[in-house]
Amino acid sequence: MRYGMVIDLKRCIGCYACQIACKAENATPPGVLFARVVKREIGTYPKVRRMSLPLLCMHCADPPCVKVCPTEASFKRPDGIVDIDADKCVGCRYCMMACPYGSRFYYGEEQHYFDGGGLTPYEEKGYRNHPTGVVMKCNFCAHRVERSEQPACVANCPAKARIFGDLEDPESEVSRLIVERAGTQLLPERGTNPSVYYLSP
């Protein structure tokens, strides 16, 4: 079993629904974006395209963040999900230097969205999962996956641009799409073997 994701860039409309769904699901503090969409302009005038590139933790098969973590707080689960044990993290941020995808965030001190009013009840509940002084990251919504649900970014994508499944199952939709449409990984030259594949726009 190796969970992975396929993102169809032809279908992605760059609406940021994944980014917002992730924030709502995980109650991440300001500036922390487990799932994010970056816009890139490619080409030169008059052949120019503006494209959206959805990013999240790549849950690499060979995760450099896990290797460099001095406390073994970063770990890879048997199902391929890369996660952090916040109780072991010392906040050295070495994993952030090792991750080529910018998918890790350091939460130094408590932040909230509304100045002056303190934490909202939603933040108060959600932030219990985010202790300060440690690094946090996407875990493919492991709490949802364990309930046989899809990650929030997948379930809420209105264009159905994200597909989640088992990369080791050749019959799964993700495996089929990767083979049929030549799925591509980001920064393959970094040798991390990401579990997130992109289908060409």
Q: Which spans of this chain sit near another protein (rule: CB under 8 A)?
A: 9, 29-33, 36, 38-44, 47-49, 51, 53, 55, 64, 67-73, 88-94, 96-102, 105-106, 108, 111, 132-135, 182, 184-188, 190-192, 198, 200-201
Beta carbon of residue 149, minimum distance to another protein (angstroms, whole number): 26
Beta carbon nearer to another protein, 47 or 147: 47
Beta carbon nearer to another protein, 30 or 121: 30
Residue 52 to residue 59: CA distance in whole angstroms: 20
Beta carbon nearer to another protein, 111 or 172: 111
Beta carbon of residue 61, minimum distance to another protein (angstroms, whole number): 14
Other Cβ atoms closer than 10 A to 123: 18
Task: Please state, in angstroms and as integers, the Cα–Cα distance from residue 129 to each residue in 2, 37, 134, 168, 178, following that order.
Answer: 25, 24, 11, 30, 34
Residue 175 to residue 154: CA distance in whole angstroms: 16
63: amino acid identity, one letter? P
Helix extents (H) in 32-132: 64-68, 94-98, 121-126
DSSP state for residue 150 in the 8-state scheme: P
Residue 179 to residue 174: CA distance in whole angstroms: 9
Please name which of 140, 184, 146 lies closest in space to residue 6, comparing C-alpha atoms. 184
Beta carbon nearer to another protein, 101 or 166: 101
Beta carbon of residue 85, minimum distance to another protein (angstroms, whole number): 11
Beta carbon nearer to another protein, 59 or 150: 59
Beta carbon of residue 102, minimum distance to another protein (angstroms, whole number): 6
Beta carbon of residue 77, minimum distance to another protein (angstroms, whole number): 17
**Within 13 Å and on the Cβ side, how many CA atoms surround 81?**
17
Helix extents (H) in 48-157: 64-68, 94-98, 121-126, 142-145, 152-155
Beta carbon nearer to another protein, 13 or 90: 90
